[in-house]
């Protein structure tokens, strides 16, 4: 707690600071609530993507054994480009997946097993879902970090700055009141002394 001066200027400064803290606090609380809502939304999206990935794996389970065949599937499909764009939620920049571009190498339709076409599509979907999950996780991480900072600021204002300013105002007002009372008493004593000396 900083040392305060017991002056009228300090009293005005403390009152101004209190007004400023009270003005910013609702904005911080609103930001905190918005961050919490957005994190919940993204967590729901993440759960849905995880369910989609699980569902994809369940659908491919009956024929997943064919992936063991030597078809060179890992050579046929590669990610050419991942396009991300920047999004903004309550002032926090987050990555958004715009597009994933795949490159599929040409392959001999006669020598390649029939399941390769379906396998490539399944891999594309699985890679896309995994990438979306990674990006959603990064969004949650960034928003959670901002939420932690915002919560600290809310707590600082609610539990430290506002009570501190209120207490400083109270102390200064008591001190100035005591000084005013002392001045009045000194004035009366001086007046009475003058009256006694000059009857």
Query: Per-residue confidence at 3, pLDDT binned at 50, 70, 90?
Result: confident
Domain limits for position 121: 8-193
pLDDT at 121: 87
Q: How many domains does the chain have?
A: 1
Give the global pTM: 0.79
Residue 29 resides in a domain: yes
- Note the pLDDT tens digit of each residue in 142-189: 999 999 999 999 999 999 999 999 999 999 999 998 888 888 888 888
- Give the chain's mean pLDDT: 88
Q: Nearest-5° angle of CA 27, CA 31, CA 33?
A: 115
Count of H-run helices and E-run strands, the chain: 4, 2
Residue 3 is assigned to a structural domain of this protein: no
* Residue 41 forms part of a structural domain: yes
Q: Are 84 and 96 in contact (CB under 8 A)?
A: yes
Percent of the chain with pLDDT over 90: 58
CATH code for the domain in which residue 131 is found: 1.10.287.3240
User: Is residue 199, in this structure, part of any structural domain at all?
Assistant: no
Query: Which two structure tokens, joined as six digits, stand for 3?
Result: 């040392």
pLDDT in tens, 12-38: 999 999 999 999 999 999 999 999 999
Q: Tell me the C-alpha to C-alpha distance, in Å, between residue 106 and each of 73, 109, 147, 164.
A: 11, 9, 48, 72
Considering the domain boundaries, does residue 122 fall inside one?
A: yes
């Amino acid at each position: 707690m900083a040392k305060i001066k017991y002056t009228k200027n300090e009293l005005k400064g403390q009152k101004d600071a209190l007004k400023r803290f009270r003005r910013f606090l609702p904005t911080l609380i609103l930001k905190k609530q918005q961050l919490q809502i957005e994190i919940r939304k993204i967590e729901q999206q993440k759960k849905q993507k995880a369910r989609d990935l699980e569902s994809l794996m369940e659908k491919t389970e009956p024929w997943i054994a064919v992936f063991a065949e030597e078809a060179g599937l890992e050579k046929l499909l590669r990610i050419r480009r991942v396009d991300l764009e920047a999004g903004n939620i309550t002032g926090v920049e987050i990555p958004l997946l715009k597009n994933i571009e795949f490159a599929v190498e040409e392959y001999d339709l006669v020598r390649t097993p029939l399941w390769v076409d379906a396998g490539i599509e399944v891999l594309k979907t699985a890679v896309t879902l995994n990438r979306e999950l990674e990006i959603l996780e990064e969004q949650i991480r960034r928003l959670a970090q901002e939420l932690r900072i915002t919560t600290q600021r809310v707590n600082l204002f609610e539990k430290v700055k506002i009570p501190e300013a209120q207490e400083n105002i109270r102390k200064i007002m008591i001190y100035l009141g005591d000084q005013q009372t002392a001045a009045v008493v000194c004035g009366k004593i001086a007046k009475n002394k003058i009256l006694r000396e000059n009857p």
